[in-house]
Amino acid sequence: MADTRFMTINMGPQHPATHGVLRMVLELDGEIVKKSVPYIGYLHRGVEKLAEARTYHQALTLTDRLDYTNGLSNNMAFCLACERLIGLEIPRRAQCLRVILCELQRIAAHLLWIATHALDIGAMTVLFYAFRERETILTIVENVTGARLTPSYIRIGGLAKDVPPEFGKMVRDFINEFPGRIDEYETLLTENIIWKKRTQNVAPLSAEDAINYGVTGPVLRASGVNYDVRKAYPYSSYEEFDFIVPLGSKGDVYDRYVVRLQEMRQSIRIITQGMERLPEGPVNAHALDVVPPDKEEVRHDMAALIRHFKIMEEGFKPPVGEAYGAVESPKGELGFYLISDGSNKPFRMRIRPPSFLNLGAVPKMIEGQMVADVVAAIGSVDIVLGEIDR
Amino acid sequence: MTDESKDVRRVTGKLLRQFGEKAITVEERSGSGIPSVIVDKAKILEALFFLKNDPDCVFDMLTDLFGVDNYKEKPRFEVIYFLNSLKNKTRLAVKVGLAEGESVPTASGIWKAAEWFEREIYDMFGIRFEGHPDLRRILLDDDFEGHPLRKDFPLEGRDFDKPFVVQLGEEK
C-alpha cells in the first residue's frame, strides 16, 4: 500500500503568488512542508547563447530583458564588464548619472516588491500606494531614456545621451516627497500586528546557510551578513558616496522587509548626494572606436555617419582576455563574466543571476514551515523569473 | 587594487605550496583581468576545500560556477569556479580543463550553491558531475536533445523550421 501520510501538491506555474512562471512541488505532512522542489526554466530564452552571436553593443539590449523590473542595473553590470575588458575610463558626469539612475531603479524595484509581497500576504492597500510612487520613477526613467522598462540607456563608454533639462527638477521633487511616502508604508505595515504575525519568525535563513547557498542582496543582509557589492567592490564612484548598509539579525521575512525599506531610505541619500555634486562635462568616454558619435553630429558630418554605421554594424574588438563586472542590483549581486577571443562578439557571456541563487535557498527556508507561509517566503526573496531562466 | 592583488598573490602562493606546481598553474593577467588558477582535475575538490577552509584564504562564497566551450583547444571544456571571500574582499577564478565526455567531482558538498550551478552546466554543456545528488536538466525541458551552449549547437536551434503539429492517432 502506498504511503498516504505525505501529500504532494503542485504550486504553479500559473499561480499568482509565484511572481511569474515558477513551479514548486511541495511535499506536505498535514500543513507542514516536508520538502519542496522548485522547477524553473519556463522563461528560458537562451540569452547567453544569443549574446555570442551579437556584437557587444547589440548584446546590451538583451540585458534589459533579464530582470525586467530593473533594466538600468542590468545595463550597468554589462557595461562595467565591457569597459573593464577594453580598459575604458568613464567621465565623472556619466558615473554620477549612472549612480543616480541605478538608485532610482532600486527604489522602483523595491516598490514593486513591497506592493506584490504585501498583496500576497493580504495587505492590498500598499499596492496602490507603492505603484503611485513607482509611476513617478518610471516617468522620470521614460523622460530620460525614452522607455519605461527596457531603457538600454547606459551604454558601453557612457550613456546614450545626456539627461534632459527637466531631469533635475523631477528628481528633486521626487526625493523631497518620497521619505514621507516611506513613512506612509511604515504606518501601514511595520507595527501592524497582522503583518508581524505573518512575517516574524517565518522562513528564517541563518547567516551560514545564506553564504553556503550563495545568497546575496537584501536576503543575505537580513541574515546579518554585511556584504554589499557597492561597498565591497565599489564601482562607478560609489566609494565617494556616504551611505550605510542596513542589516537584519534573524533573517526572517520581517527582517527582509525592514532591510529593503531602509535600503530605499539610503538610496534617497545617495541620490541627494549625487544631485548635489553632479559635475558638468561629457557623458561619453573619448573612444572613437567604441562610442558612437552624437546624433546631431551624424546629421551634419559624413565622417561621423560612417563611424556610426561602422560601430553599430561591426562593433569593436576588445583584446583577448576576461573581465567580470558586478553591481548590487535590487536582488543581489548581478555579475557578467565576459570572455573575449579578440573578435567583435563575446566568446562567452556568463550572467551571474542573483535571483537564481536566492531561489535555490527557498527550499531550505520553508522546510518545516506552514504551507501558507510558502507564499510569504517566495515573496520575501523577491525573485524575477526573467533573470533566473535567462 | 594593489591591496587586492597582494592578497591574491598570497593565496595563490599558498595554494602552490600546498599542492605543488604540477597541479596548480597560476595565470598571470595584466590590467583588469581576473586573477585565476588552473587546477588539475584530480586535485580540484581538495583545492576547493582548501580554498574555502584555509584561514588565510576563506573563499566562503561560490559566486559563480559555469562552463566554457573552447572548441578549438584541447581539452575542449573548461569549468570555472568563481570564488569570493567576504572577509578579505578578494575574488579568484579556479579553472579545470575537461575533455569531451570527462566528468568532474561535484562541489555541492563544499558549497550548496554548486548544486544548481552544476545542474545548469550539465544542462547546457553535457558535463557530468560525479556524486551530484540530483543531476537533472534545470532550465530546459527533460526531453530536450543536445546541449545548447556548446559551440556546435546551432543558434536557431534544431528543428526550428519544422511545424509544431501533433498528429492525432499516430503514436511514436
CA of B14 vs chain A CAs: smallest distance (Å): 23
pLDDT digits 0-9 by tens, A286-330 = 888 888 888 888 888 898 899 888 888 888 888 888 888 899 999
Sign of the CA dihedral running B137, B143, B149, B155: negative
> Residue ranges of chain B with pLDDT lower than 50?
1-2, 30-31
Name the residue in chain B with its Cα closest to that of A351. Answer: B64
Say if the Cβ atoms of B86 and A211 lie within 8 Å.
yes
CA-based nearest distance A204→chain B, Å: 17
Give the per-residue pLDDT at B5: 64
Domains in chain B (CATH in brackets) are 2-103 (3.30.460.80)
What are the DSSP calls for B33-81, one per residue?
A: PPPEEEE-GGGHHHHHHHHHHSTTT---EEEEEEEEE-TTSSS-EEEEE
Q: With cut-offs at 50, 70 and 90, classify the pLDDT of residue A263.
A: very high
Query: How confident is the model at residue B32, as a pLDDT?
Result: 53
Q: List the alpha helices (DSSP H) in A283-339.
A: 295-300, 302-314
Tell me phi and psi for residue B103, to 5 degrees.
-120, 170
| Distance of residue A77 Cα from the nearest chain B Cα, in angstroms | 15
Tell me, what's the ipTM?
0.84
What is the pLDDT averaged over residues A171-190? 89
Q: What is the mean pLDDT of residues A4-17?
A: 79
Q: Which residues of B touch A212 (CB under 8 A)?
A: 111-113
The answer to pTM > 0.80 is yes
| Residue B89 near chain A (CB below 8 Å) | yes
Query: Average pLDDT, stretch A36-44?
Result: 89
Q: Kindly determine whether residue A212 and residue B112, on different chains, have CB atoms separated by under 8 Å.
A: yes
Contacts of A321 in chain B (CB under 8 A): 29, 32-33
CA distances from A160 to A56, A70, A335 (A): 15, 17, 22
Put simply, whether B33 touches A (Cβ < 8 Å) is yes
Of A49, A322, A389, the CB nearest to B149: A49
CA pair distance A104, A287, nearest whole angstrom: 28
Check CB contact under 8 Å for B32 and A85. Answer: yes
Q: Does B113 touch chain A (CB under 8 A)?
A: yes
CATH class of A42-287+318-389: mainly alpha
- Closest residue in A to B58 (Cα) is A211
CB contact under 8 A, B32 and A337: no
Residues A386 and A44: their CA atoms lie apart, in Å, by 8
Contact across the interface for A352 and B64, Cβ inside 8 Å: yes
Burial A214-253 (b: 16+ CB within 10 A, else e): bbbbbbbbbbbbebbbbebbebbbbeebebebbbbebbbb
What's the rounded Cα separation, in Å, for the pair A6 and B153? 42
Looking at residue A2, its pLDDT comes to: 59
* Predicted local distance difference test score (pLDDT) of residue A313: 85
- Min mean pLDDT across A5-9, A142-146, A203-207, B103-107 is at A5-9
* Chain B residues touching residue A389 (CB < 8 angstroms): 139
The distance from CA A24 to its chain's CA centroid, rounded to whole angstroms, is 23
* Residue A108: per-residue pLDDT: 92
Q: What contacts 24+ positions apart, CB below 8 Å, involve A227-234?
A: A227/B61, A227/B86, A228/A328, A229/A326, A229/A327, A229/A328, A229/A333, A230/A327, A230/A328, A232/B86, A232/B89, A233/A326, A233/B89, A233/B91
Peptide bond into B75 cis (omega under 30): yes
Compute the distance between CA of residue B86 and CA of residue B58 in angstroms, rounded to an integer.
8
Q: For residue A13, is the peptide bond before it cis, meaning its omega torsion is within 30 degrees of 0?
A: yes
Residue A390 DSSP class: -
In terms of phi and psi (left: phi > 0; alpha: psi -120 to 50; beta: otherwise), the region of B38 is: beta
Mean pLDDT across A245-257: 89
Point out the least confidently predicted range of A4-13, A80-89, A254-263, B74-83.
A4-13
Chain A positions in Cβ-Cβ contact with residue B91 (cut-off 8 Å)? 233, 324
- Burial of residue A140 (CB within 10 Å: 0-12, 13-18, 19+) is buried
Nearest alpha carbon to residue A117 among A133, A130, A105: A130
Taking CB atoms and an 8 Å limit, are B32 and A84 in contact across chains? yes
For residue A107, is pLDDT > 90? yes
Angstrom distance (rounded) from CA A195 to CA A200 = 8
Q: Count other C-beta atoms under 10 Å from residue A277's C-beta.
A: 12
pLDDT given at position B171: 54
Beta strand B90-98 pairing with B36-39:
parallel
> Given this model, what pLDDT does residue B2 score?
45
> Which residues of chain A have a Cβ shorter than 8 Å from any chain B Cβ?
40-41, 44, 46, 48-50, 52-53, 84-85, 87, 209, 211-214, 225, 227, 232-233, 321-324, 333, 335, 337, 339, 347-348, 350, 352, 356-357, 360-361, 364, 389-390
pLDDT value at residue A291: 87
The domain ranges of chain A are: 42-287+318-389
* Cell of residue A161, nine digits: 545621451
Average pLDDT over chain A, rounded to an integer: 88
- Residue A233 pLDDT exceeds 50: yes
Q: Is the pLDDT of residue A18 over 90?
A: no
- The pLDDT assigned to B51 comes to 86
pLDDT value of residue B1? 44
The CB density around residue B25, as the number of other CB atoms within 10 Å, is 15
Q: Please tell me if residue B102 touches chain A, with a CB cutoff of 8 Å.
A: no
Q: Residue A260 — pLDDT band, cuts 50, 70, 90?
A: very high
Containing H/E element for A277? helix A253-277
Give SS3 for A35.
Answer: strand
- pLDDT tens digits along A334-366: 999 988 888 888 999 999 999 999 998 999 888
